[in-house]
Structure 1
């Protein structure tokens, strides 16, 4: 027995030596880190790849694995993919060496558990040469791959610089925003290959008109922008007319079919009170929207005095406030308890609510700023803040997490289709060790209709892991029952306008009863909102509604002042 044990021990030692030799002599960079990014070990090839003399130097100087990436958020996305698929293989990412130079590497990795600790084991090798053979890194980063014109990223960078120049030297600056029409018709009729060729041909013609007068970029699928500075800025309207004429005269031919296009052009001159690129882009987008309302092939110039633009002007002020709130931690989370009506209340059950805090300490309700956030693509950033802040708070309050039965978190419709946010959320669950079954995501009925496929895909991803999904404001649309069977949801939150008058309005009571009957047949729970009295709560309980939420149950309170129900 002793001899057998000795042989087994010798074999293990030999295997360990083989592994050590492989680790040290591998041509690929190999490393291990904790899930939070702290480096544990690196091999010589890894050091060489990132410009360090030896493993000791690298482990001393690199505080976190996110320093490998030119964009540190790429590591979060990779972790999200690993949490989703179990591993990542051959993901090509832009990295940064010790001396600050950028390069491309391919990374593969997976998370393993050892001695009750979770580690990320990864391998990396340089793919810069192959990347550069197709297109230079600089060109790839700044140009649209289909059309060859500048891309949105480069446009945003140049616009930021142009704004700084305009403010510093009081020079002119004008932005044109072009939205092409009829592209969808070509895609639907002839396929995306034809649509791509159309975009490529037309962008060449539009770019030649702009030429050296300004910067021409593709900022969306069928959206382009022109940046004009200095002496060229006052000539923007003339250039807009030239671009409009190019589109009007353009003919696209595909397999004996001839297509004509239209374009709407929004013009936004810079004013001294505009401080961010987002504001100027939003103004140009709003002007483009007004041009579209006039009909095909129109130009509209943004003006704060234009009555039609006043709504957009108000929204623009919220864009600035939202960005400031995100940067300066001016958002605050509230909670509102909800109560089970058919079973005993166990643990904490509440909905998270968002508030924006003003300098005087007053809280601004979300209905004031969320419409602007959704219109100008800021809602996903807000959702990201809510999840990161709340999960971090739970980590710091483990006793609260233990007693938490379910928290409801609202997601905007734009977030549902944001693939990067989906990976971020997956990673957040793993990073903070939050049990999936304790989280319910709420999506609104109106957005679920508009983004049906994306909504179902998003729900399926997280439902498999244990999350619950609720359809908020149900009953607000006449088509509600038609698509309810198509959505794999767990709860239905009944629109408050149907709930608050059920004691005096028999039609509202009948609709609530109808929703209850349908959802029960589909195996879904019901939550009644706007429950403002004990009498309404009792009536809902008799109707078989599962949960009640509203001022009659509990008022919203700051999360930092949490009290049990």
Structure 2
């Protein structure tokens, strides 16, 4: 209705005046004088109505604008109050005399008081009971930061706070932060940045920096001898499995404290893994390091603690490695100590061993350590490449045969490194997972780009390492890659070694079943090398058996190998599994293999591996 106000009052004035004039006209008659008495009042009524309407409309608009302005101010005040109350620092607004005008909840908590104790009262009489510069600064100098002061809670207890000052048109705004809490939180953050919380030792990154400093000193000062040790708790999982995981955690914490006590410098210790610790000694000779290692071994083997009414005790194995320029980096030093510790465990456990690249037992490990850097560079620089080798049918009616995809590597100079040189190092130092994924991705990409080659073959096999079964997400990764590819799944055959399959029997069987659901095939590689080959063969749902090359090489002259291959072939026929003979190199061997009814042959007599293009 308010939208019609500009028209309502003029219309009302017009109607009222015209009604009055109408009755006047009836009384006076319809002469000219009477007509003027009718028109003039009408005009006056309209003008009067317009003036009244304009005044009323202006008044209503002014009232509406005032209401909207008040609502905006109310909303701003509400937001300001909400922000003030949630602000983590204590906030207080005072006038020029120090009278408190406004406070927030954090202020009340900091000084342990209620709003009635502070609002409307002089702030300095409440919290600043000793002479200080705070009152003078607030009343005089317009600084933004006052500094740190000892103020007082309502009960008189002192509290050290950092005070900041912000002048405003409505008074002086003060913010208060408890210095004690700030220092504590900063120290806590600094500690967690450099330490792992479970045992309180340096984390790997911080500890590595300390060891690298020692390594750098060893490289410049050849008289300086430092040693890195690794302590591995033998059969620690027995505590977790026979007592409880809580008891295992209790043992680890007590063991860590005892280790720190024996070493005397907790900042030199790092927890590498669940039950593996490492520490370093500075400025000691090889003889001193050996003596210390033996004494520590005896002390740690004698250590015991109790939890849940059970006595907990384990032995340890210790490996040591000199931090010297002979080993090219910190990683090589750590790997050397790891190799020495592993050798101690392999030698019977509860022993101390020191790494020496000149000793026979470490020479192979040293070569693998050198190979690790090449593998890492190949993964980062795309220096791996694929080769293919034909698998031909030897019996009629066995189809078109297949091809095995092999992985090779180049070093940074371009020289080819054979799989036999880098695969053992990759397996030892847990790099096979990355290589497996690279091979699968690249092999499937090549097959998609060479569809005509794939169509001319019955299957193309890809090798998987034994580590694949122990990776929780590798089966999902392989499943996803196969589903997303445009390849017929039945063309894909994945090879797993007999040794790896037997070692992780249940996991291998579950893995094979999951991938075979897509239509893929599986081959059991290097068959015959295991101790229980035939016992496990019936349990693996494979499609092909690749007879190990040690039985095929020189088979024409070895009657024992002939009988072993014949028995493998007979059992494979019963299981409806096809056989592939590896490393066939002579025509004479082909004759024997054909007589034994082997299905496929692979070897230099058929085809030599060549790069896939």
> What's 2:208 paired with?
159
* 1:416–1:150 Cα change, 3 Å: farther
Task: Report if aligned partners of 1:210, 1:239 keep a CA contact under 8 Å in 2.
Answer: no
> What's 1:539 paired with?
592
> What's 2:505 paired with?
452
Q: Deviations over 1:223-280 (max 9, x none)?
A: 222256x769998667756753542232243565534321111112222354455422
Separation in structure 2 between the aligned mates of residue 199 and residue 482 of structure 1, nearest angstrom? 41
* 1:149–1:441 Cα change, 3 Å: farther
Separation in structure 2 between the aligned mates of residue 164 and residue 400 of structure 1, nearest angstrom? 56
* 1:401–1:528 Cα change, 3 Å: closer
Secondary structure, counterpart of 1:266 in structure 2: strand
Separation in structure 1 between the aligned mates of residue 428 and residue 546 of structure 2, nearest angstrom? 24
Decide which of 420, 424, 436 is 2:489's aligned counterpart. 436
Decide which of 379, 389, 394 is 2:442's aligned counterpart. 389
Separation in structure 1 between the aligned mates of residue 506 and residue 267 of structure 2, nearest angstrom? 40
> What's 2:533 paired with?
480
Separation in structure 2 between the aligned mates of residue 439 and residue 278 of structure 1, nearest angstrom? 38
> What's 1:282 paired with?
335
Consecutive unaligned residues of structure 2, counting only runs of 5 or more, are: 1-187
Task: Report if aligned partners of 1:318, 1:372 keep a CA contact under 8 Å in 2.
Answer: yes
Decide which of 267, 271, 274 is 2:320's aligned counterpart. 267
> What's 2:38 paired with?
none
Task: Report if aligned partners of 1:207, 1:216 keep a CA contact under 8 Å in 2.
Answer: yes
* 1:189–1:386 Cα change, 3 Å: same
The question of 1:312 aligning with 2:365 is answered: yes
Task: Report if aligned partners of 1:149, 1:218 keep a CA contact under 8 Å in 2.
Answer: no
* 1:295–1:503 Cα change, 3 Å: closer
1:144 CA displacement: 6.4
Secondary structure, counterpart of 1:407 in structure 2: strand
Deviates further, 362-371 or 280-289: 362-371
The question of 1:350 aligning with 2:403 is answered: yes
Task: Report if aligned partners of 1:163, 1:275 keep a CA contact under 8 Å in 2.
Answer: no
Consecutive unaligned residues of structure 1, counting only runs of 5 or more, are: 1-135, 561-565
Q: Deviations over 1:69-125 (max 9, x none)?
A: xxxxxxxxxxxxxxxxxxxxxxxxxxxxxxxxxxxxxxxxxxxxxxxxxxxxxxxxx
The question of 1:471 aligning with 2:471 is answered: no
Q: Deviations over 1:54-76 (max 9, x none)?
A: xxxxxxxxxxxxxxxxxxxxxxx
Separation in structure 1 between the aligned mates of residue 425 and residue 297 of structure 2, nearest angstrom? 29
1:441 CA displacement: 1.5
Separation in structure 2 between the aligned mates of residue 323 and residue 233 of structure 1, nearest angstrom? 33
Matches within 5 A, 1:200-219: 200-207=253-260, 209=262, 212-219=265-272
Separation in structure 2 between the aligned mates of residue 192 and residue 538 of structure 1, nearest angstrom? 60
> What's 2:477 paired with?
424
Separation in structure 1 between the aligned mates of residue 284 and residue 516 of structure 2, nearest angstrom? 54
Q: Deviations over 1:409-439 (max 9, x none)?
A: 1122123212243343333334544443222
Task: Report if aligned partners of 1:149, 1:217 keep a CA contact under 8 Å in 2.
Answer: no
Matches within 5 A, 1:130-529: 147-149=198-200, 154-155=203-204, 158-159=207-208, 162-163=211-212, 166-167=215-216, 170=220, 174-207=227-260, 209=262, 212-226=265-279, 240=293, 243-253=296-306, 257-293=310-346, 295-344=348-397, 349-358=402-411, 361-403=414-456, 405-529=458-582
1:550 CA displacement: 0.9
User: TM-score normalized by structure 2?
Assistant: 0.60
Secondary structure, counterpart of 2:607 in structure 1: coil
Task: Report if aligned partners of 1:315, 1:372 keep a CA contact under 8 Å in 2.
Answer: yes
Separation in structure 1 between the aligned mates of residue 314 and residue 598 of structure 2, nearest angstrom? 53
Q: Deviations over 1:7-37 (max 9, x none)?
A: xxxxxxxxxxxxxxxxxxxxxxxxxxxxxxx
- The structure with more radius of gyration: 2
Task: Report if aligned partners of 2:233, 2:317 keep a CA contact under 8 Å in 1.
Answer: yes
Separation in structure 2 between the aligned mates of residue 460 and residue 139 of structure 1, nearest angstrom? 48
1:175 CA displacement: 2.7
* 1:347–1:361 Cα change, 3 Å: farther
* 1:550–1:276 Cα change, 3 Å: same
Separation in structure 1 between the aligned mates of residue 324 and residue 583 of structure 2, nearest angstrom? 44
Task: Report if aligned partners of 1:176, 1:236 keep a CA contact under 8 Å in 2.
Answer: no
Secondary structure, counterpart of 2:557 in structure 1: coil
Task: Report if aligned partners of 1:149, 1:207 keep a CA contact under 8 Å in 2.
Answer: no
1:285 CA displacement: 0.9
Separation in structure 2 between the aligned mates of residue 341 and residue 462 of structure 1, nearest angstrom? 28
Secondary structure, counterpart of 1:419 in structure 2: coil
Secondary structure, counterpart of 1:440 in structure 2: strand
Separation in structure 1 between the aligned mates of residue 536 and residue 399 of structure 2, nearest angstrom? 33
Task: Report if aligned partners of 1:268, 1:284 keep a CA contact under 8 Å in 2.
Answer: yes
Separation in structure 2 between the aligned mates of residue 473 and residue 499 of structure 1, nearest angstrom? 11
* 1:538–1:179 Cα change, 3 Å: same
Separation in structure 1 between the aligned mates of residue 205 and residue 485 of structure 2, nearest angstrom? 33
Task: Report if aligned partners of 2:321, 2:333 keep a CA contact under 8 Å in 1.
Answer: yes
Deviates further, 461-470 or 338-347: 338-347
Q: Deviations over 1:325-344 (max 9, x none)?
A: 22233322111100123455
Separation in structure 2 between the aligned mates of residue 164 and residue 322 of structure 1, nearest angstrom? 26
